[in-house]
Amino acid sequence: MTLTLAVLDAFGGAVDFIFSPRPSRGSGPDVGGLGQVGELTLEHLRLSGAAMVLGLALALPVGVYLGHRGRAELLAVGIGNAGRAIPELALIAFLVAFVGVGFVNVTIALVVLAIPPILTNTFVGIRQVDRDAIDAARGVGMSELQIALRIELPLAAPTIIAGVRTSAINVIATAAIAPLAGVVTLGDFIINRNVYGDEGVLAGAILIALLAIAVELVLAAVQTLLTPRGVRVERALAARA
Amino acid sequence: MSVSAAAITVAQAGSDFFRDRSEADCIRDNGAFCAGWVIENADRYVEPTLEHAFLVLVPVALGFAIAFAMAVASHRARWLVPPFIGATGVLYTIPSLAFFFLLLPITGRGNVTAIVALTAYTLQIIYRNIVAGLANVPADAKDAGLGMGMTERQLLWRVEMPLALPEIIAGVRVATVTTVALASLAVFAGAGGLGNEIIAGSAITFRTGIVVAGSLMILMALAFDLLLLAIQRHLGRWRVAGRERAAGAPRLRRLRAPGPERA
């Protein structure tokens, strides 16, 4: 009972922190409130977005090419497996200690995390495209590029977006420790407890969780939109069978 | 003048590079890997490594037990699959760092918080793989089992689970490797682990410490993965044997008829 009340009290304080500014624990301007929350959320999204765009720009073409040619399967799948083993904290710390702090450096670190799931899922998605569909496309005289872009890519889209979702979750989660490398994301509320206090820490945790869930929901909607109608029908039939 | 000064600088840099530097110099210059320091301080990594392994094994074991129970339940009641996927998906989406601090008012700082958050993260990966593994069991094998008079329960444990095993263990492998990496953040929950060696004090600028702790985590992930791969191969070996048998040869050992002499 007392624990429940204490928990409710803590979360109430965190919500209060999000909506109304208060004096800093240390020296400096007021902290909390929607103004600062908005600012840090934008920075969080800017950092994650930059990493995702760069990650997609690098991994998608390579994945489509390797998948279409059916080459370097070990590499494409192996990178996905190896990517999971990268410890986020060690990656950011490595960057701080060897390269230096700042937006560009952190973005590069996050790109390293963004690439593996996108590359692997693109490769696997393209490889799994029905051979008959590709033969049919070749039969009507499509070029290899057309086959890759107009047959394989749309049919692989659901699998590719699944990889993008995994990447986005990792990138947003790791962007939370970016303040260690000098980029003030929402993680700042958590990492600088001496400035924001316990209520700020909890507020940061709530905001990061909500941001991740919101991005995940948007990408899930994108996945549904990009799933070709034929594939959707096929899956519905398979689910019923 | 400036040219000669530059030449001297270059010469010094070169001699710095080739000189057999003492360990004190290496530490002072924040070298990438001061081997002497590592050898001298090897014992300080024993406890964090064990803590880290604990923070991986307990969540994966708990996650497997929960996900397995969920999969068995949703295997009987198919309508449970979408809500289970949804619920574990939300837990998977919440970043671990945020999860630790969301739990803090409830479970306090320490192992419990870290274990709850890391366990929650593994559920989606393991659950999805068990469900997919069971769904991929060939209909022929199930029909054969039913034709031999198996009950639903016997079919699940003697036909479907053994055939789904490679995919189930594949899920456990992914969950384990991911958890080794994520447990680096457990230091924020006050649960120690190798993350402590990276972030404690001013360590985030100490290159050798970061390289050692990071390498230990990657090696741990690799070791667990290879161990599980060996288990996967070991448990799946009868499948290969079955495939190599000619038609009409003795049936698969695990697909034996449930008779009173075995029960």
- Structural domain boundaries in chain A: 2-240
Render chain B in DSSP notation, one character per residue. Answer: -HHHHHHHHHHHHHHHHHS---HHHHHHTT-S--HHHHHHTGGGGHHHHHHHHHHHHHHHHHHHHHHHHHHHHHHHSGGGHHHHHHHHHHHHHS-HHHHHHHHHHHH-SSHHHHHHHHHHHHHHHHHHHHHHHHHTS-HHHHHHHHHTT--HHHHIIIIIHHHHHHHHHHHHHHHHHHHHHHGGGGGGGT--STHHHHHSTTGGG-HHHHHHHHHHHHHHHHHHHHHHHHHHHHHHHHHHHHHHSPTTSPPPGGG----TTT-
Please report which residue ranges of A70-102 form alpha helices under DSSP H.
Answer: 73-84, 88-98
Residue B233: pLDDT band with limits 50, 70, 90: confident
- Structural domain boundaries in chain B: 41-240
Mean pLDDT, chain A, as a whole number? 89
Greater pLDDT, A75 or B16: A75
User: C-alpha distances in angstroms, A126 versus A69, A134, A156, A225, A231?
Assistant: 10, 11, 5, 18, 14
pTM of the complete model = 0.84
Q: Which two tokens mark B8?
A: 């001297």
**Pairs of CB atoms within 8 A across A/B:** 123
Residues in chain A: 241
Mean pLDDT across B218-239: 86
Domain A2-240 class in CATH = mainly alpha
CA distance linking residue B174 with residue A217, whole number of Å: 23
Greater pLDDT, B37 or B243: B37
Of A40-54, A93-107, B162-176, B209-223, the range with the highest mean pLDDT is: A40-54
Render B191-259 in DSSP notation, one character per residue. Answer: --STHHHHHSTTGGG-HHHHHHHHHHHHHHHHHHHHHHHHHHHHHHHHHHHHHHSPTTSPPPGGG----
**Which positions in chain A have a beta carbon within 8 angstroms of at least one beta carbon in chain B?**
3, 6-7, 10-11, 81, 84-91, 93-94, 96-98, 169, 172-173, 176-177, 180, 187, 190-191, 201-202, 204-206, 208-209, 212-213, 216
ipTM value for the complex? 0.87
Mean pLDDT across B74-103: 93
Residue A75: CB atoms within 10 Å: 14
Q: Is A22 helix (H, G, I), strand (E, B) or coil?
A: strand
Nearest CA in chain B to A239: B135
Q: Which CATH superfamily is domain B41-240 in?
A: MetI-like (1.10.3720.10)
CA distance linking residue A113 with residue A147, whole number of Å: 29
Residue ranges of B 50-109 with Cβ closer than 8 A to chain A:
89-90, 92-102, 104-106
Residue B21: per-residue pLDDT = 56
Mean pLDDT across B158-167: 90
B contacts of A169 (beta carbons < 8 Å): 92-93, 95
> Distance (Å) from the C-alpha of residue B123 to the closest C-alpha of chain A?
15
